[in-house]
Structures are given as structure tokens and as C-alpha cells.
Amino acid sequence: MKWRALIFVLAAAALCLGFGARVREHSLREAAEASGMLIGTAVRPAQLSEAAYASTLAREFNMLEPEDVLKWEVVHPEPQSFDFSQGDQIVEFATRHGMKVRGHTLVWHQQNPKWLTEGKYTSGELAQILEKHIKTVVGHYRGKIFAWDVVNEAFDELQPGKLRSTIWRDRPGIGLAGNGSSYIERCFRRAHEADPQALLFYNEAGAEVVNPKSDAIYAMVRDFRQRRVPIDGVGFQMHVANLRADVASISANIKRFTALGVQVHITEMDVALPVDPNGDPRPEDLQKQADIYREVATACLSHPGCTAIQTWGFTDKYSWIGWHSKKTEGAALPFDRNYGAKPAYEALRDVLAAGRP
């Protein structure tokens, strides 16, 4: 009798353990790796010393991108000096944890240092400064950063389909103003020379759906591909506002871009919610937010050329949305302020675990 009881207990324990292993929930990273996807997040190096931040990052993601520290104002603080210390910290963390690193960004109209924006340089001088920047920064991370946002947000917000007027294009520009996207082409060519293995992306906001802005980017990318300008991908930022995402249009847009032979990365996803003065969202909005994460991720996985999903930070403790909306919005990311998984996290994990259709 005793033996029978013992066998029964052992069998029950084994069953429980087996069952436990089967239902053990995977991390985002495990789910993504099983599906051959990259799941990434923007990172602020100052937070890497926080244990919960670092452990969540290493457990949940297989790709990182410096949120700010590879922008000009940080990495190129003086005309003759570069500061890679913070970028290197992120790359070192990624290497230690077997993660890939995206680079962001080489050419943008924001977060540029005063010496550059107020320097009154001629087009010839600016062209030299820009080429040296690309060569030095891409060269420093050659073999370490696998994909670069070479140019960020070059199309205008207010004039649909037109290139934005910036220091790089026409104020005074690098000497190619009036020549359409040829200043962008020049940047891609220089980045390719600095690291021929790196994947080169054009990254944009507000072009996730089929609209005049994405039409113009599509025309540029098609032209670049036809003329063998080295472009490998397009990044759609995916900062979702007002809980509205036209997923059918996002999917159609991903489809037409990947049909050009370029990859698509979702590069900066967050879904901002209205928050009270404590920063707390309405509980019912968390579910709507999860649905948007689920639908966007599903749209990505349904196109083989959509290879990465990245969120703009991962914990609501550190997100640009609060600052950007003067604290009226927030709670935009998959983890709450205490690193607890939100419904958006479960949604992303479910889609990644299910894999491509």
C-alpha cells in the first residue's frame, strides 16, 4: 500500500512538472527566436545599471537600439571630437547578451549640436562634415551595428509627399538642393562605403499607412533599387496616437515595400494612452492598446520581408511619450512602471509565439 501511495505521489509530481514545462510562458525573445523574428527596443544607457531594467532587457529582447546616444548632439559634440562612450556601453551590453544592435541615426534635422546648426557653414563644408561623420560613426561600429537608420524623417509633415527643408537638403544643404532625393542617395552611398555589410534603412514617421508621404518614399526606394543605390530596408516608426491604427492600410503598405525587395522593420512602436495626473491609464484602454500591438505585429509577421518589431523603450517608467505630451499621455509600452507585463506584452508574445502564417 505504501509503495502504491509513493508511486502515485511520484507520478502526480511528474505530471505536474511536465505540465508546468509545457505551459511555462516564454519570453518575447524566446517566442521571437522560435519564429525567426527580431524583437527590439530603444535603450537609454543610464538605466543599464538598474537591475530590473537590465534583466528585463536581456530576457525579453534580441535587438537593441540606442534611443538618443548615437544622435549628433551626443556622439559628435564638437567639430573635431566624437564621443562613443554611451553608444559603446549599449553595444557591449548587447554583445554580452547575444543581441543585435540597430544604429539610429546618421542624418536627421533634430538633436543636432549648436556648433553644427549655428555654424554658418557653406554647402561644401557641410558636405565634408557630413561625410566625415558618416565615415567615422559607421566605421567605429563596423561589424557591431548590423543595421543603420541612415536618414530619418526626410519627408515633410505639412506638405504631403515633399522633402523637408533641412540643413542637409537645402539650408544650405550639402550641395544637392533642387536635386530631389540625391542628397539622401549620397548618404546611403557613404554609409555603404564605411561598412559594406551593414543593412541600410530609410526611417520615417507617419508613413506607416498608404498615404502621400509613404507614396513618395515608395517612389524613392523603387528608384534607389532600380539604380542600385545601396538601400536594404525601410523603417516605419509606428508611434500610434489616439488608439487609432489603420491596420489594413499598414499591411498593404508593408506588402508593397517588401515587394521592392527591401526589408521592413517596425522601428519605434508605442501606443500612447491618455493618463491621469498620476500617469495612470484607464483600465479599458489597456485592452485596446493590446489589440493594436497584436494587430500591428500580426500585419508584420504576415509579410516575410517584415523582419523586426521594435518598441520605443519597453517600460512606462522611461518613455518619451510623457515628456512629448506634457504628461497628458503615457503608458505606451508593453511593461508598466514596475516592469510588470501589460496586456500589450501578452498580445505581442502570442503573435510572436504563433509565428508566421
Name the residues that contact ligand XIL, by CB under 6 A: 67-68, 152, 205, 237, 268, 320
Report the residue number, 191 or 352, with the smaller CB distance to ligand XIL: 191
Q: Residue 110, by phi and psi: left (phi above 0), alpha (psi -120 to 50) or beta?
A: beta
Question: Which of 77/355 has CB closer to ligand XIL?
Answer: 77
User: From the candidates 60, 67, 153, 295, which is the catalytic residue?
Assistant: 153
For residues 124 and 122, give the distance between their C-alpha atoms in angstroms, rounded to a whole number. 5
Q: Which is nearer to ligand XIL, 121 or 320 (CB)?
A: 320
| Cβ 354 to ligand XIL shortest distance, Å | 29
The residue (of 121 and 201) whose beta carbon lies closer to ligand XIL is 201
3 state DSSP class of 58? helix
**Could you give the CA distance from residue 295 to residue 250 in angstroms, rounded to a whole number?**
10
d(CA 29, CA 36) in angstroms, rounded, equals 10
- Identify the three-state secondary structure at position 67: coil
Residue 251 or residue 310: which is nearer to ligand XIL going by CB?
310
Burial level of 178, CB count in 10 A (0-12/13-18/19+)? exposed
Query: 305 by DSSP, 3-state: which?
Result: coil
Listed residue (27, 30, 61) closest to 43, CA to CA: 61
Choosing from 30, 65, 67, 268, the catalytic residue is: 268
Distance of alpha carbon 224 from alpha carbon 196, whole angstroms: 16
Q: Report, in Å, the least distance between residue 17 CB and ligand XIL.
A: 44
Q: Smallest gap, in angstroms, from Cβ of residue 205 to ligand XIL?
A: 6
Is 268 annotated as catalytic?
yes
Q: How far is the CB of 89 from ligand XIL (least distance, A)?
A: 16
CA dist 263 and 38 (Å) reads 12
CB of 276 to ligand XIL, least distance (A): 23
DSSP 8-state class, residue 314: S
153 as an active site residue: the answer is: yes
Residues contacting 284, CB < 8 A, separation 6+:
none
How far is the C-alpha of 144 from the C-alpha of 106, rounded, in Å? 16
CB of 106 to ligand XIL, least distance (A): 12
Task: Give me 285's grid cell.
Answer: 484602454
Q: Which is nearer to ligand XIL, 69 or 262 (CB)?
A: 69
List the catalytic residues. Answer: 153, 268
